[in-house]
Amino acid sequence: MLKLEGKTALVTGGSSGIGLAIARRFAAEGARVFITGRRQAQLDEAVALIGAGAQGIQGDVTQAADLDRLFATVREEAGMLDVLVTSSGVAEYAPLEATTTAHFDQAFDLNVRGMVFTVQRAIAQMADGGAIVLIGSIAGSISNPGYGTYSATKAAVRSYARTWTSELAPRRIRVNTLSPGPIDTPMFDGVSEELRATVTAQIPFKRLGRPEEVAAAALFLASAESSYVAGAELAIDGGMTA
């Protein structure tokens, strides 16, 4: 039996990288999948890859009007929502002395503010017993020189998961955090071989993770197989934080 058969799932940031891998796995497991992202052309390509009746809705999760349109479309097309994955995010290098207000605001607007108000709208049309998977990062738990702002946003994601677990427990909506380590996504395409080797050397498994491995963990957290898992953080990092 398919693990998400008959379920409706929304994946923000689902047009590339980890979000796209999750959307593809969910669709393969029987879910009706909606994805959102800023660039229409990229969304169209992602929908073609996902197949199985996937639908892309262009929008920016930092914009209230776009979020309202997103959830109105999901409601009109599919009714209640069963699974939400918040995968929209940005990571930019800026050590403390180079951190600007623009850099800070961009990171917190997308990684935290956008996530918060996405979840707020989602629970208004989510079925009791639904699942929310917040995409965090091991950066929220470890030293990450040059990425202090990004790391702080991911620590905030983890904190919200704890609080929402208590707040949503009466509705049996489970909130969990999935925290990848270095994953071989398009984000790494512009990284030098030297830096890639340095990062890889820090991972006990001596390789980058694959988006499909993160997607498998997301499926576990979204499905009934994790029915007693709530408020947890699952690191997908080849043992890096261990």
Q: Which residues are catalytic?
A: 150
Half-sphere exposure of 39 (CA within 13 A, CB side): 6
Closest by CA position to 48, among listed 15, 26, 75: 15
Q: Are 40 and 58 within 8 A, CB to CB?
A: yes
Q: Which of 13, 33, 23 has its CA nearest to residue 212?
A: 23
Query: Is the CB of residue 139 less than 8 Å from the CB of residue 151?
Result: yes
Strand 81-86, strand 126-135: pairing: parallel
> What 3-state DSSP class applies to 55?
strand
Whole-number Cα distances in Å, 132 to 70, 98, 101, 200, 240: 17, 35, 30, 30, 25
Instruction: Give 8's contacts (C-beta < 8 A, 6+ positions apart).
Output: 31, 32, 34, 74, 78, 79, 80, 81, 82, 83
Q: How far apart are CA 136 and CA 167, in angstroms?
A: 20
